[in-house]
Amino acid sequence: MAGKTARRMIQTGTILSILFLLAGCAHTWSPKQAPPVPMNSVGPLGPGLSVHLVNDQPLTTPQLFAALGGHTHYANYNEWTDFLIRYWGEELMKRGVAVGPQSRNLISVKLDDFRYYQGFAKIRINMRIHLSSSDNTWRKDIEETDTSGWSMGRAFGSVIYHTVEKLMRDPEVLGRMKP
């Protein structure tokens, strides 16, 4: 009888341990930081430009974007959209663009469709950026990707960095900021 009880306790303990390990392999990625875009990469954008960047991502719960080897990876797209808007706005202000609700040039921003690829000593992150005017007469959808040899966090920071750098060079996006 004692052997049966011990065996059941071992089986129960094993099952609970496995469940604990599987639950412990869920990762939710939140934005941390991205390096500043150097002024020699994208210079002043000039006076007269203004924009009001608005988060248009309604999803606030973490969304699954990768499942690899028992690890699941989630991202809150609304939180990532806020991060991109804040970072992009800071970089625009450094370059002389008036950023805020006083501008009539509203651009709605939404990030989604994150994808993660693990290669040999490289991590690649893909994401989609959706930009639109308040009346939806103008839309621009962009897919960005970047890699890192360090970590998924670095790949995320890098894709945000390069996205903002490209947006500040995009004549169509800059045209939306003109009076």
CATH assignment of the domain containing 117: 3.40.50.10610
Which of 75, 72, 71 has its CA nearest to residue 63? 75
Q: Taking all residues of the chain, what is their mean pLDDT, rounded to a whole number? A: 86
Answer whether residue 74 is part of any domain. Answer: yes
Q: What is the pLDDT of residue 111?
A: 96
Answer whether residue 60 is part of any domain. Answer: yes
Strongest mean pLDDT among 7-21, 63-77, 91-105: 91-105
Q: Pick the range with the lowest mean pLDDT from 40-44, 45-49, 96-100.
A: 45-49
Its domain, for residue 167, covers 26-175
How many domains is the chain built from? 1
Answer whether residue 139 is part of any domain. Answer: yes
In the chain, % of residues over pLDDT 70: 87
Amino acid letter for position 165: E
**Mean predicted confidence (pLDDT) in 45-56:** 93
Answer whether residue 110 is part of any domain. Answer: yes
Which of 61, 95, 100 has its CA nearest to residue 78? 61
Q: What is the pLDDT of residue 118?
A: 77
**Mean predicted confidence (pLDDT) in 149-161:** 77
In 9-156, the DSSP E strands lie at 26-29, 50-55, 63-68, 71-75, 98-99, 106-119, 122-132, 139-148
